[in-house]
Amino acid sequence: MKAIIPVAGSGTRLRPLTHTKPKALLYVGSKPIIGHIVESLIPLGCDTLVFIIGPDGDAIPKTIKALYPDFTVESVVQHDRLGLGHAVSLAEEAVGDDDVLIIYGDTIIDGDLSVIRSCDVDGLIGVKEVEDPQRFGVVTIRDGLITGFVEKPSRPQSNLAIVGCNYFKNPAGLFESLHDIVAQGKKTNGEFQITDAFQLMIERNHKLKPFSVEGWFDCGTPESLLETNRYKLTKENREISFPDSIIIPPVFVHESATVRHSIVGPYVSVGSEAFIERSIIADSIIGSGARVFNASFVRSLIGDYVEASERPRRLIVGDNSILDIDVD
């Protein structure tokens, strides 16, 4: 089985962090977002990862090759961001005739995905009940089969949101539908949507079923990134201590990081070679190589190699910044 992982998005909602780093390489818990995604594929017997990257997206496949050498890693460049449907259509040659799992590069799925191995139809679409279906693509169902797809409906007929994890036994029908919507110029909300291709598959008598997902974490905003960090730290539940500091679990501190005379936690992730001294930090992500002194942070995202001191209470700052400010 092969996996298509689209990661060509610019991550505008996570700026300034994504000015210098792809969204998929931001940390939650003990590893990058993309690391959690790739590890969820190992039990499925997936052997090949096909990344859809932007023109400057080489860092993602390079990172995965280094962290997970047992995978075959391929890259396809989406030069123009024309939507998710267009992005996935570019992977046809790389996928060939293999069965394929499409999983979005900013979405962490927590749960047993082995249900895809018992697929008895053309494809399976991962779904989860949500309170506000207008924010998502949704499906309608009859007699166990999906009857329709709507992207961000103004009047939802269902609360089953598409979570970004979809399996196809034979992807030929999917790619045919994707190429057709692109050739016809069929856009929804200004982009070629993969949900429109799914809808076209149904109209062409392909059978698609939903499968339920337990945990679904969209890491596209600062708030959702911190929420995912809290969840992953709770699941990992590591024991960490420093002799002159108070660590309030759950916390992850990379083995190469240093914490002195500080209170860290709960829900804090600290990257490699970071240095924290005389600070109080809770519910935050501290990037690799960051240096934090005399600070008090909560619900903050601190980029790699940031130098921060004084007393900001909440901060979102990109890589390589130097801060010496006092914010009430």
Can you give 237-286 as a three-state secondary structure string? CCCCCCCCCEECCCEEECCCCEEECCEECCCEEECCCCEEECCEEECEEE
The reported pLDDT for the residue numbered 255 is 94
The reported pLDDT for the residue numbered 88 is 95
pLDDT digits (tens, 9 = 90+) for 27-47: 898 889 999 999 999 988 899
Token pair, residue 181, equals 């919507």
pLDDT at 24 over 90: no
The reported pLDDT for the residue numbered 325 is 43
With cut-offs at 50, 70 and 90, classify the pLDDT of residue 323.
low
With cut-offs at 50, 70 and 90, classify the pLDDT of residue 91.
very high
**2-218 and 237-325 agree in CATH topology:** no
The reported pLDDT for the residue numbered 318 is 57
CA 293 to chain centre: 31
C-alpha count within 13 angstroms, C-beta hemisphere, residue 130: 24
pTM tops 0.85, yes or no? yes
End-to-end CA gap in the chain:
53
Token pair, residue 37, equals 């995604």
Q: Tell me the average pLDDT of the chain.
A: 88
We find that the CATH architecture of domain 237-325 is 3 Solenoid (2.160)
We find that the CATH architecture of domain 2-218 is Alpha-Beta Complex (3.90)
Find the mean pLDDT for residues 95-119: 88
How much of the chain, in percent, has pLDDT values that exceed 70?
94
The reported pLDDT for the residue numbered 317 is 53
pLDDT at 327 over 50: no
pLDDT at 159 over 90: no
Domain coordinates in residue numbering, the chain: 2-218, 237-325
